């Protein structure tokens, strides 16, 4: 065993191996006027990619001697969201798939499902960065948290793995809309004397006077609101659902965000606190959902604690688990031709590019532009 392995776990918080694969896009035309069905077909190879999580560097792929062969695996992965499909093929080829593949056969994965997985992780990273930012944009934070919690369920079956994306507390709450005891609505009707519902509201920290005509319009007059289900469900829950203080804070926040509009809602301290707790809860749900295949393990050889990670997907989310989210964040590279995100100190406003190559490319292209302008 090479010497460097001896202190391996001291500098790497966890490691993980994955078979690399040969990956090709397959396009099947099913009907002349229909969109073709695109899949990536992955054939596992005998080679193994070895990964480690290094403090301040994040998830990296290692050379056999333990040095980094490719840095920034998470930032490259979420960059695939907008990358050409050739780059996705290459990523899967070099790093292997997110879950174990069946050996000695082509494993197909739907391109759209894979992109949906990439986007979900990218949105989670973006939300963590939005929270870590010194200049927080609360509309961005609430919109991202809503986007993640309300996204369509992703479901894939690959080899023995059945993967289903995280289902959020908000989704469960929304599914109760329309089934709640409406006695509250009726009671409020009586109290209000026909004009306003007095609704206890944690965002305004008092009683919100909800115009009954407006309520009825949202709840019962679907022609007016074009059957806007989210607004309908949130309004029903806002008026009729008791809930825990946490649930109420989330519902009251989203109600005002939709009802007053993202520019109309007042971002005072209570709104900000509710937005942050909604966002943090959403991030926690996403990360925890993907850590179920990770277990602590004691390495008898090195006598060091370590983690057993069961999939590349787990390894990617585990790297968010270790992200020091108050001081570090992932930022998209400033080179428009590069899709990567990169890890940076949240206080650093100078670092704009993922690597020196991107920085040099941009310096050169600015130089060419200036020369062009001088002509």
Residues in contact with Zn ion by the rule CB under 5 A: 333, 335, 338, 340, 354, 358
Cβ proximity to Zn ion, 312 vs 338, nearer residue: 338
CB contact at 8 A, 164 and 292:
no
Min dist CB 351 to Zn ion, Å, is 11
Pairing of strands 206-211, 58-62: unpaired
Q: How many CB atoms lie within 10 A of CB 337?
A: 9
Cβ proximity to Zn ion, 244 vs 356, nearer residue: 356
Cβ proximity to Zn ion, 44 vs 58, nearer residue: 58
CA 259/CA 363 separation, integer angstroms = 46
Task: Map residue 329 onto helix, strand or coil.
Answer: strand
Cβ proximity to Zn ion, 95 vs 335, nearer residue: 335
Min dist CB 355 to Zn ion, Å, is 6
Cβ proximity to Zn ion, 147 vs 352, nearer residue: 352
In the chain, % helix, strand, coil (3-state, to 5) comes to 45, 25, 30
Q: How many CB atoms lie within 10 A of CB 363?
A: 11
Distance set, CA 186 to CA 195, 202, 239 (Å): 13, 21, 11
Cβ proximity to Zn ion, 210 vs 353, nearer residue: 353
Cβ proximity to Zn ion, 182 vs 359, nearer residue: 359
Min dist CB 354 to Zn ion, Å, is 3
Strands, DSSP E only, in 132-195? 155-158, 161-164
The distance of Cα 329 from the centroid of its chain, to the nearest Å, equals: 13
Cβ proximity to Zn ion, 40 vs 341, nearer residue: 341
What pairs with residue 309 in β-bridges?
A: 294
Pairing of strands 328-332, 37-54: unpaired
Which of 7, 24, 3 lies closest to 15, judged by CA?
Answer: 7
Q: Which residues lie below 8 Å from residue 70, measured CB to CB, with a gap of 6+?
A: 60, 61, 76, 94
E strand or H helix that includes residue 99:
none
Residue given tokens 């100190």 in the structure block: 345
């Amino acid at each position: 065993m090479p010497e460097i392995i001896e202190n391996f776990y001291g500098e790497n918080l966890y490691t993980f191996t994955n078979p690399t694969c040969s990956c090709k896009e397959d396009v099947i035309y099913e009907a002349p006027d229909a969109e073709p069905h695109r899949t990536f077909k992955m054939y596992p190879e005998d080679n193994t990619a070895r990964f480690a999580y290094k403090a301040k560097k994040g998830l990296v792929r290692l050379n056999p001697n333990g040095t980094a062969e490719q840095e920034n695996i998470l930032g490259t992965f979420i960059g695939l969201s907008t990358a050409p499909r050739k780059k996705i093929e290459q990523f899967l080829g070099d790093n292997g798939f997110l879950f174990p593949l069946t050996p000695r056969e082509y494993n197909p994965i739907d391109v759209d499902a894979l992109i949906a997985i990439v986007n979900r992780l990218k949105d989670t990273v973006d939300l963590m960065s939005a929270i870590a930012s010194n200049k927080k944009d609360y509309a961005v934070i609430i919109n991202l948290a809503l986007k993640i919690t309300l996204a369509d369920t992703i479901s894939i079956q690959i080899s023995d793995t059945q993967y289903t994306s995280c289902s959020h507390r908000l989704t469960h709450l929304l599914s109760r809309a329309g089934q709640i005891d409406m006695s509250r609505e009726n009671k409020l009707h009586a109290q209000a004397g026909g004009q306003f519902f007095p609704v206890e509201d944690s965002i305004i920290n008092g009683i919100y006077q909800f115009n009954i005509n407006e309520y009825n319009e949202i709840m019962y007059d679907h022609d007016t609101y074009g059957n806007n289900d989210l607004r309908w469900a949130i309004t029903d829950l806002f008026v009729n659902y008791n809930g825990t203080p946490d649930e109420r804070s989330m519902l009251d926040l989203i109600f005002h965000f939709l009802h007053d509009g993202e520019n109309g809602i007042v971002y005072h301290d209570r709104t900000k606190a509710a937005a942050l707790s909604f966002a943090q809860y959403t991030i926690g749900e996403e990360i925890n959902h993907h850590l179920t295949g990770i277990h602590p393990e004691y390495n008898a050889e090195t006598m060091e604690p370590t983690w057993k990670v069961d999939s590349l997907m787990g390894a990617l989310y585990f790297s968010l688990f270790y992200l020091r989210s108050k001081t570090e964040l992932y930022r998209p590279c400033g080179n428009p031709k590069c899709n990567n995100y990169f890890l940076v100190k949240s206080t650093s406003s100078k670092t704009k590019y993922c690597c020196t190559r991107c920085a040099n490319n941009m310096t050169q292209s600015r130089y060419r532009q200036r020369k062009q302008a001088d002509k």
